[in-house]
Structure 1
Amino acid sequence: MKTIDEMLHLALLTSDQHHQISAWIAHADSPEDILNMPPLLWRALEQASAIMGVDKDLLRVPTFEADNGIV
């Protein structure tokens, strides 16, 4: 839900879209239920995701640097 909240904050979703998408996700029992979101909401979510580069982040290979503080 944090990503959807960020989409609202960046004005990529209207408050109504944010509310409807959040409610849909909250009541979904499975990932398949989320995929059955109404087309207008799904398109709004896809557009906001594209602008934010969500897919690029998910496909990016993580970098492992020795100086990152993780042991």
Structure 2
Amino acid sequence: MQTLDEMLAKHLLTPEQHHDISAWTRWAKTPEGILNMPPHLWRALELASVLVDFDGEASSA
């Protein structure tokens, strides 16, 4: 959850995406269930993950 909160704070996820992804992971409860997340949420999460990693690398350089 901390990473999702960080993505929201950095404006990499919208409040709605943050809510929907958080709700999905609470509902799914298992890795297999989480993997069935709707594609539009996966795309948002993947992009935000790449950008968080890029931001972390840029900050440490």
Q: Which residue of 1 aligns with 2:47?
A: 47
SS in 1 for 2:29: coil
Corresponding residue SS for 2:42: helix
Count of aligned residue pairs for this structure pair: 55
What are the residue-to-residue correspondences of 1:1-71 with 2, within 5 Å? Answer: 1-53=1-53
What do residues 10-34 of structure 1 show as CA deviations (whole Å, max 9, x unaligned)? 0000000000000000111310100
Structure having greater relative contact order (Cα 8 Å, sep ≥ 6): 2
Bigger fraction of residues in helix: 2
Find runs of 4+ consecutive structure 1 residues off by over 6 angstroms.
none
Q: What is the identity, as a one-letter code, of the residue corresponding to 1:11? A: H
Query: In structure 2, what is the Cα distance between the partners aligned to 1:7 and 1:16?
Result: 12
RMSD (CA atoms): 1.6
What is the TM-score of this pair, normalised by structure 2? Answer: 0.84
Task: Give identity over the alignment, percent.
Answer: 61
Q: Which structure's CA Rg is the greater one?
A: 1
For normalisation by structure 1, the TM-score amounts to 0.73
Q: In structure 1, how many angstroms separate the alpha carbons of the residues matched to 2:52 and 2:14?
A: 15
